[in-house]
A and B are shown apart, each in its own frame.
Chain A
Amino acid sequence: MAETLKILTRAVGVQNSTAIDTYMHGGGYEAMMTALHKMSPDQVLGEVKASNLKGRGGAGFPAGLKWSFLPKKREGDKQEPRKFLVCNADESEPGTFKDRLLIENDPHQILEGIVIAGWATQAVGCFFYIRGEMPQGAKIFQRAVDQAYSRGFLGKNILGSGLDFDVWVCRGAGAYICGEETALMESLEGKRGQPRIKPPFPAGYGVYGVPSNINNVETYANVPHIIKNGAEWFKAIGAPSLPGPRLYGISGHVNRPGVYELPSSTTLRELIYGHAGGILGGRALKAVIPGGSSTPVLRAGQIDVTMDVDGLKSVGTMPGSGGVIVMNETVCMVRALHNLMEFYAHESCGQCTPCREGTHWLELLVGRIEAGEGRPGDTERIAEIAGNIMGRTICPLGDAAAMPAESFVRQFKDEFETHIKEKRCPLKAAPMTSRI
């Protein structure tokens, strides 16, 4: 079994870990000093590009490449074009709780990554958008920001580098959709969180129409380590299609749920049966959602794959946000899918017809099957509706609802058909394993 890593999570369990002195005592902000004093912005950008750091929010887009899309000062320009960074701390994908751990235990690690990214991109500041239901996290992060200002790590002419850089903490207010990059930017502008049509992409038209770059909390947290140890060191961790340390949050029916920092070359089986201590109640494993609720579900026999892009792709799914949801044999898959469809129907912003209508039809159809009122052809109908949402909406929320719908009925077709044929839920009589 692969050992858990202590790179991103090294502060977890350390006393007073959120204080700037604690962070600096462990070598914190040294990478920022190296970047600002010894490296040009292009050198920093080059190192992050070479590391092949992939976005940790779910889409997995290479971070360095994303940074390079921002406009640069051209010959003859008096100054850098105005640019913003955004840190997406709107963690709300069901099954995902890793960013909370980083924010609450080691805010300076994230902040250091943000300032280094600010140097690389020559941005004027960063909006830290944290979900409204994390008031403690917002307080902890604001305190970290205040401490960084008092040490001269934020503000005007940081450490004599010439970089002026601010950080603004903003709270969301309970809308999953605001985790989508352009909805988040709308929200930062004091609007309803409805995604924008792309193009233009944020790198050209972001917050207030100013070119902006957005990354996830965990993505920024990786940056100081890349600058400190180098791209080669980073690439040597995990499988090539997903290099570097990765936070896997495991929940549901396992004995030891929690966040585990592991190389992506770890298999799902090692995570579930090794680190997380196996299945709750000594029951048999039934299903696993590998990367947050929107990633296609796996059957028990499909967990001998590594948790990188290639490994999960080989079984038709993806790493997503690293949120692994485990279900044992007591779980009704129709009910589980109904719960997820309720979520997406509730969180659809209503802007695009396929998503607004489709998520509700999926919720109704799956709900009636669970209630014993399913009709022959309903599983095909679910697949058809999912297919009609997929790729036909402004933002990925539609896809995020379609992928579990399609995969649940494909992977567990017999169970859905039994519900329809017997006009009842065969698992309802026995209680589902509970933790309380």
Chain B
Amino acid sequence: MSPTPASLLAGEEFARKVEALAAKYPEPRTALLACLHLCQDELHHVPPECQAFIAGKLGMTPAHVRGVVTFYEMYSEKPLGKHLLQVCKTLPCLLAGSELLLEHLERKLGLKPGNTTKDGRFTLVAVECLACCDGGPALMVNDVLYKNVSPERADEIIKELE
């Protein structure tokens, strides 16, 4: 079962990981982005209680942490789907046909970019350059980057996730 904010903060493991990250760098504040990634990966979002928890561990105010969460594209305050589908929409991928890929995924999932399926399984987003311009259209699914993704290939990738 996937963790909830409450269960994540109740367990010792998350606290241990945050403390380990705080000790990894010359100053604990450098660990903030890594701690937020940790939370985002576990919960698919970074809720206020986790922001406050991390703030406390790193000696920051919750307001500062919220400012950081809202600045960076990879953190979300509202829960994202289990699988995050990111279609690169910037020029080199556009020239390779990224619009066809995005339209296909919109139809397949019944979603507009920026939204999550009702069952919470998929979030579809159109993102800026993924630094994979020779492999456009590029599609990133969670941590994995796929190159030259045709609509048919996208169907296969999604099938493999299920």
- Residues on A lying within 8 angstroms of B by beta carbon are 91-97, 99-100, 125, 127, 131-136, 168, 170-176, 187-193, 208, 249-253, 257-259, 293, 323, 325-327, 331, 336, 339-340, 343, 346-347, 349, 432-436
Contacts and interface: CB of A to CB of B under 8 A. Distances in A.
B77 interface: no
Given A92-B129, A435-B136, A435-B148, A192 B95 contact: no
A436 B133 contact: no
Contacts of A258: 134
A208 B92 contact: no
Interface stretch (B6-14, B26-34, B112-120): B26-34
A174 B73 CA distance: 5
A189 to B, nearest CB: 6
Given A136-B143, A170-B25, A293 B91 contact: yes
B134 A168 contact: no
Contact of A168 (B24, B74, B128, B145): B24
8 closest A-B pairs by CB: A174-B73, A434-B97, A190-B32, A251-B133, A173-B72, A190-B29, A257-B134, A174-B74
B122 to A, nearest CB: 18
Interface in B29-82: 29-34, 36-37, 58, 60, 64, 67-68, 71-75
Contacts of B68: 190-192
Given A432-B95, A434-B97, A173 B131 contact: no
B94 interface: yes
Contacts of A326: 95
A251 B90 CA distance: 12
Contacts of B133: 94-97, 249, 251-252, 257, 323, 325
A339 B133 CA distance: 15
Given A94-B133, A190-B30, A168 B25 contact: yes
B101 interface: yes
Interface of B: 24-27, 29-34, 36-37, 58, 60, 64, 67-68, 71-75, 86, 89-92, 94-97, 100-101, 127-137, 140, 143-145, 148-151
A94 B90 contact: yes
Contacts of A174: 72-74, 127
A171 to B, nearest CB: 6
Contacts of A189: 27, 29-30
B68 to A, nearest CB: 6
Contact of A132 (B37, B64, B90, B149): B37
A97 B132 contact: yes
Contact of B95 (A91, A172, A176, A331): A331
B90 A339 contact: yes
Most A-side CB within 10 Å, residue of B72, B86, B129: B129
Nearest to A258: B134
B95 A252 contact: yes
A179 B97 CA distance: 27
Given A94-B133, A192-B67, A434-B96, A175 B90 contact: no
Nearest to B27: A208
Contacts of A100: 131-132
Contacts of B37: 132, 171, 173
A95 B91 contact: yes
6 contacts: A127-B30, A174-B73, A191-B68, A293-B90, A331-B95, A343-B91
Given A259-B134, A343-B91, 7 more contacts: A133-B131, A170-B25, A172-B33, A190-B29, A326-B95, A433-B95, A434-B97
Contacts of A168: 24-26, 30
A175 B137 contact: no
Contacts of B96: 251-252, 434-436
Contacts of B134: 97, 249-251, 257-259
B134 to A, nearest CB: 4
A343 B145 contact: no
Contacts of A133: 74, 86, 127, 130-131, 140
A125 B58 CA distance: 22
Contact of B151 (A96, A125, A251, A436): A436
Contact of B33 (A96, A170, A340, A435): A170
Nearest to A210: B26
Contacts of B90: 94, 293, 339-340, 343
A281 B129 CA distance: 24
A327 B149 CA distance: 20
Contacts of B136: 251, 257, 435
A227 to B, nearest CB: 27
Given A190-B31, A339-B91, A434 B100 contact: yes
Most B-side CB within 10 Å, residue of A100, A252, A327: A252
A259 B132 CA distance: 11
A187 B31 CA distance: 10
Contacts of A432: 95
A250 B96 CA distance: 13
B113 to A, nearest CB: 13
Given A173-B33, A325-B92, A208 B26 contact: yes
Contacts of A132: 33, 37, 72, 74
Nearest to B65: A190
A226 B117 CA distance: 53
A92 B131 contact: yes
Contacts of A249: 133-134
